[in-house]
Homo-oligomer: A and B are copies of this chain.
Amino acid sequence: MKVSLNKKILSKNEECALQNRAFFTENNTLCLNVISSPGSGKTTIIVRTIRELKDKMKIGVIEGDIKTDTDAAKIRETGAPAVQIETRGACHLSAQQVTSKLGAISAGELDVVFIENVGNLVCASDFDLGEQGRVVVLSVPEGDDKPTKYPGTFAKANVLLINKTDLLDHVEFDTDKVISDAGKLNPDLKIFQISAKTGQGMNGWYNWLLGLCTKTAK
């Protein structure tokens, strides 16, 4: 009975994920699901990306948090559309929640939609939201053992942003080990070393985004 119930729950999420993906594809909107531990810098990365690329692409954000709408407020300060989902205890966003917010940010008119998932390096990666790509953020102070400890999350990602490289002189962190361990789990993983605080290394990430974004080029 437990198995069939789990299957039913997953199927509902999967169904909505398929609908979301069809919507994004139809509208040439690139949707990226951004996953990380709490405090790795997801919001700071998205805010800086919006400010740097605002003349080149239209970006909107769906924010997920257990509680508070502070992150959506930070995004809106850039002028970009943002909507908050408060999960009130749930440890990840669901595809249904994403579906319910597509209208609020006029997602079909955007070049890129970032879904900033709840800060959680485990659960978020098990739920397809209908995104076209997954971005995992690992910040330097979290330590270089995270790909081996949380292999599923790194194996299912398309991009790894190693963030807070401005702190490399102050903590123990072997970047080569992370690149090697993550590469073993996921040979196709695209990796950028960045500091969203200083801007260092962000150009590679911006160019990757611009290269994927087909709407503006039309």
Q: In the complex, which of the residues B1, B38, B70 contacts A142, with contact meaning CB atoms closer than 8 Å?
A: B38
Known contacts A39-B37, A120-B120, A122-B118: does B66 contact A150 (CB below 8 Å)? yes
Q: Are B123 and A123 in contact (CB under 8 A)?
A: yes
Known contacts A122-B91, A171-B167: does B149 contact A38 (CB below 8 Å)? yes
Q: Which secondary structure dominates chain A's binding surface?
A: loop
Known contacts A146-B39, A170-B170, A171-B167: does B122 contact A66 (CB below 8 Å)? yes
Please measure, in the bound complex, the distance between the C-alpha atom of A73 and the C-alpha atom of B116, giving whole angstroms.
34
Q: In the complex, what residues of B have CB within 8 A of residue A159's CB? A: none
Known contacts A120-B121, A122-B118, A167-B141: does B148 contact A68 (CB below 8 Å)? yes
A-B contact pairs, 27 of them (CB 8 A): A1-B5, A2-B5, A37-B37, A37-B121, A38-B121, A38-B149, A38-B150, A39-B139, A39-B143, A66-B150, A66-B151, A67-B149, A67-B150, A68-B145, A70-B145, A70-B148, A70-B149, A89-B122, A91-B123, A118-B122, A119-B150, A120-B123, A122-B123, A141-B164, A166-B170, A167-B170, A167-B171
